[in-house]
Amino acid sequence: MNVKTIATRPIAGQRPGTSGLRKKVTVFEQTPYLENFVQAIFDSLDGYAGQTLVLGGDGRYHNAAAIQTILKMAAANGFGRVLVGRRGILSTPAASCVIRKHRAYGGIILSASHNPGGPEGDFGIKYNTGNGGPAPEKITEAIYANSGKLTRYLTLDAPDVDLDLLGSTKLGDLQVEVIDPVADHADLLASLFDFDKIGALLRSGTFRMCFDAMHAVTGPYAHEIFIKRLGAPAGSVINGVPLEDFGGGHPDPNPTYAEQLIATMFADDAPDFGAASDGDGDRNMIVGRRFIVTPSDSLAVLAANATLAPGYAGGLAGVARSMPTSAAADRVAEKLGIGCYETPTGWKFFGNLLDAGKVTLCGEESAGTGSDHVREKDGVWAVLFWLNVLAERKLSVEAILRDHWKTYGRNYYSRHDYEGVDSAAANGLVEHLRAQLATLPGRRLELPQGTFHVKSADDFAYTDPVDGSVSTKQGIRVGLADGSRVVFRLSGTGTEGATLRVYLERYVADPAQHAIETQQALGGLIALADQLAGIRERTGRDTPTVIT
């Protein structure tokens, strides 16, 4: 085996964020940017000699080339086997499934999730541990530390591996197995949901669905599961062919970017059920006929109806949500008498709770829901769960939500994203808020929209109930006396400037007030957020880039 030791030097800024390292494709294409980061991953791990690594990505531009680089580096660094998806494809939840099913040491996932792709788009890479979940902070910090002291990386002088053909081949001493990227994940999902009842619904001729794969990774999964296994008409899946640039679109399943699905679901002849997933298949959006379900409400509805699905018939151990996610799921957990946990944003924070058996369902307001079947959020799983509930309850999506609100009350909720904000301006805004935290509680703020009494204000900190680890500065929360709240947070998923996210939540118990338009219901909080943070003044933005 011809192992080559290539001299290198540290590259600044290779600190993984909440979902790995994300930069422009043009950055990752520059040797040795990718090589350095991969070597930093390997240098941060122990005991992997001869072990199995899972490898794949969302099919975006540079995915195929990066996989060849990583295969050769895995061989040179001493891994024994790599399971890689055919054509380099593996959705993020499918990668987690494969890691867990085959008891792999860990996995490398190539994705920038919902970010745009193509030669001028974004690229990303993250490491998942043997439980199938994103690496915890102690590992990501070790990766960052090692990236700052690299002097060499190891690779193999060998030809590329043919990733189009299923089967096994040798790369030096490394066994490379090209696997079906869909099969393991599809089989796992089939074990959780009633495919007979869902299939009968989709084949009934009276129920129509539209799943938008957004030219991203879930196209093959949707065709295999919804059309081949469940028998839905072929037209039930749109934009189902993965493209390196996602067809020029932005593969983020929200009402702004999934505009084709929204137009379809709000047309006069709209299907009964609509859904979309993102670039790497871990996010989802659920839409009824002329009715959009927020991710927070989706988590709450699934928790309330969980026992309708065979895989959850025994009930839930608990529910976890990220701090910015609305408290709708908390109300369900309280009624069910199960635990409810509030974590920082980032799926890795759910891993310990899942592994310890404290929770069964998890969710984030950024269109991510999942369960203990894998250690990632799972877009196709969420769609199947909704279809299982619809098949059992025989109600429309809107009727299920309105019934849920009647029982639990409605948490009016919205997220306002200001994308590509000047980083200095965004950081200045956050520091301005932090400077007010000590004096905000007890204040009475008079605005044209009303009077607001501030009850609490803090910068969210989290102590993991399993391992005791502490995470600080996870988002600024301002709570009001009536139970409403505003949360401010800078996102770590973009590659240009900063993304300021403002989360707005107001609880209304009275069913007579549940038909108010969301932005209207939250109008006072929107004005309060601008007043507290000086959004217009500090960012120069009059309106958000995206409202979800």
**Residue spans of beta strands (DSSP E) within 34-151:** 52-57, 81-89, 106-110, 122-128
Would you state the structure tokens that stand for residue 102, as one six-digit string?
Answer: 């085959």
Provide the pLDDT for residue 495. 57
Provide the pLDDT for residue 189. 98
CA–CA distance, 83 with 132 (Å, rounded to integer): 14
Provide the pLDDT for residue 18. 73
Q: Is 193 exposed, middle or buried (0-12, 13-18, 19+ CB in 10 A)?
A: buried
Provide the pLDDT for residue 494. 54
Is 3-180 a domain of CATH 3.30.365.10? no
Q: Kindly report the backbone phi and psi dihedral angles of residue 409, in degrees, each rounded to the nearest multiple of 5, phi listed first.
A: 85, 165
Q: Can you name the residues that pair with 109 across neighbouring β-strands?
A: 56, 126
Q: Can you name the residues that pair with 17 across neighbouring β-strands?
A: 20
Dihedral Cα 423, 427, 432, 437, nearest 10 deg: 150
Percentage above 70 pLDDT, the chain: 99
CA–CA distance, 431 with 422 (Å, rounded to integer): 14
91 in catalytic set: no
Is 185-408 a domain of CATH 3.40.120.10? yes
- Of 19, 44, 91, 113, the active-site residue reads 113
pLDDT bin (cut points 50, 70, 90) of residue 176 is very high
**Residue spans of beta strands (DSSP E) within 422-483:** 444-447, 450-459, 462-463, 470-471, 476-480
- Render pLDDT for 357-412 as a digit per residue (tens, 0 to 9): 999 999 998 889 999 999 999 999 999 999 999 999 999 999 999 999 999 999 99
Q: Kindly report the backbone phi and psi dihedral angles of residue 331, in degrees, each rounded to the nearest multiple of 5, phi listed first.
A: -70, -35
Provide the pLDDT for residue 238. 97
The reported pTM is: 0.93
Question: Collapsing DSSP states into helix, strand and coil, what is residue 268?
Answer: coil
Provide the pLDDT for residue 492. 60
Provide the pLDDT for residue 137. 86
Helical (H) or strand (E) element with 137: helix 137-147
Provide the pLDDT for residue 148. 97
Q: What's domain 410-547's architecture?
A: 2-Layer Sandwich (3.30)
Cis status, amide bond into 32, omega within 30 of 0:
yes
Identity of the residue numbered 266 = F
Write down the domain spans for the chain. Answer: 3-180, 185-408, 410-547
Q: What does each C-alpha distance from 518 to 136, 206, 391, 513 come to in angstroms?
A: 36, 31, 28, 11
DSSP for 248-306, written as a single string: GS----STTT-HHHHHHHTSTT--SEEEEE-TTS--EEEEETTEEEPHHHHHHHHHHTG
pLDDT bin (cut points 50, 70, 90) of residue 256 is confident
Provide the pLDDT for residue 19. 80
CA–CA distance, 37 with 47 (Å, rounded to integer): 19
CA–CA distance, 177 with 29 (Å, rounded to integer): 26
CA–CA distance, 243 with 217 (Å, rounded to integer): 8
According to DSSP, residue 308 is labeled: G
Question: Collapsing DSSP states into helix, strand and coil, what is residue 434?
Answer: helix
- Render pLDDT for 66-84 as a digit per residue (tens, 0 to 9): 999 999 999 999 999 999 9
CA–CA distance, 43 with 269 (Å, rounded to integer): 56
Mean pLDDT score of the chain: 95
Q: Can 3-180 and 410-547 be said to share one CATH topology?
A: no
Provide the pLDDT for residue 366. 85
Provide the pLDDT for residue 346. 84
Q: What does each C-alpha distance from 182 to 12, 103, 201, 389, 427 come to in angstroms?
A: 37, 18, 23, 24, 41
- Render pLDDT for 119-168 as a digit per residue (tens, 0 to 9): 999 999 999 999 999 998 899 999 999 999 999 999 999 999 999 999 99
- Render pLDDT for 433-476 as a digit per residue (tens, 0 to 9): 999 999 999 999 989 888 999 999 999 999 999 999 899 999 99
- Render pLDDT for 301-349 as a digit per residue (tens, 0 to 9): 999 999 999 999 999 999 999 999 999 999 999 999 999 999 998 888 9
pLDDT higher than 90, residue 497: no
Provide the pLDDT for residue 493. 55
Residue 116: CA atoms inside 13 Å, Cβ hemisphere, count? 12
Which residue in this structure is represented by tokens 């490898």? 55
Question: Collapsing DSSP states into helix, strand and coil, what is residue 495?
Answer: coil
